[in-house]
A and B are shown apart, each in its own frame.
Chain A
Amino acid sequence: MTEQVATLGESASVKRTRRTRTLEQQQRLWGWIFLSPWLIGFLVFTLFPMAASLYLSFTDFTIGQPPNWVGLKNWENLFKDPVTYNSLRVTFRFAIIMLPVAILVPLGLASLLNSKYLAGKRVFRALFYMPYIIPAISGIFIWQSFLNGQTGLLNRLLRLAGIADPPDWLFSPTWIHPAMVLIGLWGVGNAMLTMLAGMQGVPTEYYEAATVDGAGPLMRFRHITLPMISPVILYNLVLTVIGLMQYFVVPWVLSNTTRSNPETNFINLHLYREGFQFFHMGYASALAWFLFIIGLILTLIVLYSSRRWVYYSSGE
């Protein structure tokens, strides 16, 4: 009898374990099922094309011809190609102007919108965010008209202000990048919102304590606001760096509607032209990987440097 009870007990335990495992397995299965659309999409539309482009970067693949293995020839050409150097120069020159603007302007706007003295915050928030949701192409066309050197509204205003010979924004090698920065300012709404959210998450006691200690608005901003929202700044910085390496739509539309211009030949546009206009698919694949490596290195530098300037109130 005792033996029977023991056997029944063991049997029940085994059944429980089996049921538990089955439940785990079922949960795991459903987990994979729910993940599968993303996973399949990632494999088919990201990982496989990446692997294929890595292979193609070692071939002379062009449209309508089977790829032939050429070893490192595309990578050698990449370092010999003056257009690649020029497009890197153009990209970095623009990045040097755009990067501070893309961080400081939304930071400034977020600070303004976070001010307790500002009336109509919701209206301003909507106004600053609204351009972000306007389709890029339409926005660029509007900017083209606004920035036209002869009849654009901006230069008309500058002439009224006494500047007799204002810049020809879109056709000048000197002014095209500042013009693109102006166009880029239209899209700062998203960064502004994330920074504003970060600012609104800073506990008010910190400001109260600092005020009691005699800290003015600038000191409070520098020693409380900035450190507390530094993770949000880091997030925007990383996105901006990656975005600058992938900068495409604005120069593409401008160069299609205002003729090709070497000063708008960003590295991503150079890649596109090599692949889809000149049909040097193998070379374009090498360029794509080169761009990926540059973007990765820059991102790692930013992340490494963040140890020195990003403060996580939760410890990390």
Chain B
Amino acid sequence: MSRKLSLILTLGVVAAMLLGALPGAAQERVKITWFVGLGTGTNEQQIEVQNRIVEEFNASQDKIELVINIAASNQTAPDILSTLIASGDAPDIVGPVGFSGSNAFAGQWLDLAPLIEATGYDLGQFPENLVESYRSLDGEQLLGLPFAVFPGVLYYNVGLFDEAGLNYPPTEAGVPYVMPDGTEVPWDYNTVVEIGKILTVDSNGYDATMPEFDPTKTIQFGFIHQWDTLRSDFHTFGANYVVDAEGKVHIWDNWREEARWLWDAVWVHHIHPSDSWISSDLLLGNAFNSGNVAMARSMLWYTCCLSDAPAWDLAVQPAYNGTIYAPIDMDTFRIHKDTKHPEEAFTVLTYLLGDAALELLTVYGGYPARPELQDAAIQAKAEAYPSVQNWDVVARSIEYAPVPHHEEWYPNFNKGQTRFQDFLTLLRSDGGGEIDLEAELDRLEADLQAIVDEVQ
């Protein structure tokens, strides 16, 4: 090749590159990235639906190109997201993500209030209390919009109740539980212990009310806080802030009472499996679904991991001191504060919360925050689980959600949450029966104070 020809070719390439770089030279669409994995959204079926929704959105657009990035699992997702943020390549939209996942990245989310005002987006389509739960602690910023709610409910195994000759738990607050002898008692955590003992059985056929019962040979448990966190357990006995306005950490009296109840349930009444039992071949890490646990307190998202057999149904969660406190989980999509295209990201967000919502909610197992979609969501669930009769419990349980939320943010949140879980491990692990519970609760409080003080 001659030198002259090479020069011409080089100049041609440079000119093409310069022209390409000029603004408006190419009709390129704005690229908006959507990161999935901090919460649900990583299983095969969900991936398929999410990809289709992205395709449909892109087909309807000439200004925005939506690109989805799905993590392999929600265990690896935090690492991937933190790497993306640290390398200055943060995604524009992250979700679905719950409070805990969002709080793990506190300070990273965009205030939506200016975009809502600029676009005239109608907040009236959501219940006001759900919108307010997305406000920052100072109330000045709106960091998310309601999408999916997962009310706290009680799952019960119909067959195990029938076998024990027990009535089913109530489906409304204030309705008493009818014991086998016909007496009516309040539907509370004391009653859970009473019927839980009848439903806890060993391999010799004795239940936990009998002196012959051998807890080392248990083959069926009465109750479990299914896939819980300590803070959600605490909040079943009433909600409160971990850190008060003066920066002081509290393990409140009702939380201490809940810890005592749980400790008794595991080590005295044996109705709740220890961690060792939970991971055993009997319960297979998914205790209620194993068919060997009669009642499970959890949220609606647990339907993700339930089969239709053995038959199960829903009831309201038990009360504490006459009031039901049913911790609720809420998922939504967040916009990252460093997005270069906030308007376009908001357009995508409103699409996910709007046109795509029902399809996404169905595949995520979520209950819609928008009332107009709720009937359709229940219809989809009813088709998936024909044995379940009491779907009305779901809507009702939203009212029992305690405030503040059990995943409410506090300083040094991630480290504090780990300390909370360490306590739960201690309580339910081998040797947990010998701990000085009050002393350990005091130690938890002191450690949390030190953790909070680290960053204050």
Residues in B neighbouring A171, C-beta threshold 8 A: 274-276, 425, 429-430
A313 CB-CB contact with B under 8 Å: no
B425 adjacent to A148 (CB under 8 Å): no
- B435 vs chain A, min Cβ distance (A): 10
- Chain A 271-283, CB-CB to B under 8 Å as 1, else 0, gives 0011011111100
* CB <8 Å contact, B425 and A168: no
Q: How far is the CB of A149 from chain B (nearest CB, A)?
A: 4
What's the nearest-Cβ distance from chain A to residue B442, in Å? 15
Interface magnitude class on chain B = 35 or more
In the complex, A213 Cα to B430 Cα: how many Å? 56
Residue of A144, A260, A262, A273 ringed by the most chain B CB atoms within 10 A: A260
> Measured between alpha carbons, how far is A77 from B450 in the docked complex, in Å?
12
B405 → chain A, closest Cβ, in Å? Answer: 21
Task: Tell me the chain B residues, 102-142 only, with Cβ under 8 Å from chain A.
Answer: 104-105, 107-108
Query: B424 and A259: CB pair below 8 A?
Result: yes
B78 near A144: Cβ-Cβ < 8 Å: no
A167-B430, A277-B78, A279-B82 as given contacts; A259 in contact with B275, CB under 8 Å: yes
The minimal Cβ–Cβ distance linking A276 to chain B, given in whole angstroms, is 6
- Closest Cβ of chain B to A93, distance in Å, is 16
Q: Which residues of A contact B421 (CB under 8 A)?
A: 259-260
Question: What chain B residues lie within 8 Å of A170 (beta carbons)?
Answer: 276, 279
Check if A256 is an interface residue, CB within 8 A of chain B: yes
A82 at the interface (CB under 8 A from B): yes
In chain B, residues 252-299, which have Cβ atoms closer than 8 Å to a Cβ of chain A?
274-277, 279-282, 285
- The answer to whether A173 and B431 have CB atoms under 8 Å apart is yes
| Given A64-B85, A64-B90, A260-B421; A172-B415 close (CB under 8 Å) | no
Question: Which residues in chain A, 52-99, are within 8 Å of chain B measured between CB atoms?
Answer: 63-65, 77, 82
Indicate if A258 sits at the interface (CB-CB under 8 A). Answer: yes
B449 at the A/B interface (Cβ < 8 Å)? no
B275 lies within 8 A of A277 (CB): no
Chain A neighbourhood of B86, CB < 8 A: 63-64, 281
Within 8 A of B (CB), among A172-200: 172-175
A19 → chain B closest CB, angstroms: 32
CA distance A65 to B85 in the complex (A): 9
CB pair B82–A149 under 8 Å, yes or no, is no
> Which residues 203-226 of B sit at the A interface, judged by CB distance below 8 A?
216
What's the Cα separation between A65 and B450 when bound, in Å? 23
Q: Does A20 contact B (CB under 8 A)?
A: no
**Given A167-B430, A171-B275 in contact, is the A150-B282 Cβ separation under 8 Å?**
yes
User: In the complex, are the beta carbons of B429 and A148 less than 8 A apart?
Assistant: no
**Neighbouring B residues of A22 by C-beta, 8 Å:** none
- In the complex, A145 has a CB within 8 A of chain B: yes
Partner of B277 from the list A82, A150, A273 (CB cut-off 8 Å) is A150
Q: Is B414 an interface residue (CB 8 A)?
A: yes
Q: Is the CB of A63 within 8 A of B274?
A: no
| B399 sits at the interface (CB 8 A) | no
User: Are B430 and A151 touching (Cβ within 8 A)?
Assistant: no
- The chain A residues found within 8 Å of chain B, CB to CB, are 63-65, 77, 82, 144-145, 148-152, 165, 167-168, 170-175, 256-262, 273-274, 276-281
5 closest A-B pairs by beta carbon, nearest first, are: A168-B430, A171-B429, A172-B430, A151-B281, A150-B280
Further 16 A-B residue pairs, CB within 8 A, beyond A175-B430, A260-B421: A64-B86, A145-B281, A150-B282, A170-B279, A171-B425, A171-B429, A172-B429, A173-B429, A258-B279, A259-B421, A261-B425, A277-B414, A277-B415, A278-B414, A279-B82, A279-B414
